[in-house]
Structure 1
Amino acid sequence: MTLRTASAVLAALASAALVSAGCSVSVGTAKVDKDDLAKQISTELEAEVGEAPDEVTCPDDLKAEVGATLTCQLTGRGETYDVTVTVTSVDDDDNVKFDIKVADQPS
């Protein structure tokens, strides 16, 4: 991959405006495990821009409540970006849907 292409991929990761995703949680837990959340973020961003980030980490589990937010970290091509995750819905089957917003600038 050329430097120009690598820069374009990183820019695409950083500007992936808003991605909607969903994740199932276990009955009674009322949260999405931080490792499962990080994997889901990586999968969704890879589907959006064609390349997975080098790493995604989340500091805590995500509460399965509409409006709950969590800031995770995305690393790609040596730069780190904040990723804000916001729960948009939780259905009766404990399926949590959330939006993913990658910061425009590295942190």
Structure 2
Amino acid sequence: MMTQNWDFESTPVYCANLAQLQIEQLLEKQSEQLILGSVEIDSVESGVYRVWRDSRLLGTFQQDTANDLWISQPRSYPLTPRFENSNDAVMFIVEMNAFVTA
């Protein structure tokens, strides 16, 4: 039988770190929702989705049916990273456009 010794002095630090992590995750999710709400997405017949802010095309994304990943292609960005979900693909497009225009 194993016994576990509790260090009660470190428990508040653990709880504070956990609370901080939860707050950071909540803020990240709210930020993502705000960003995704600021763009419009449409699609063309070939299964390519286009990401727009106002009348400016930010980039495109599509699903790779071979591996179920989403291919993200921001405008003026040479690489095409893959993501597990479409939200991450869109977030990458938006973030890269913010990075390029900053």
**More strand, by proportion:** 1
Fold-level match, TM-score > 0.5?
no
TM-score (normalised: structure 1): 0.29
Higher relative contact order (CA 8 A, sep 6+): 1
**More helix, by proportion:** 2
Q: Which has the larger radius of gyration?
A: 2
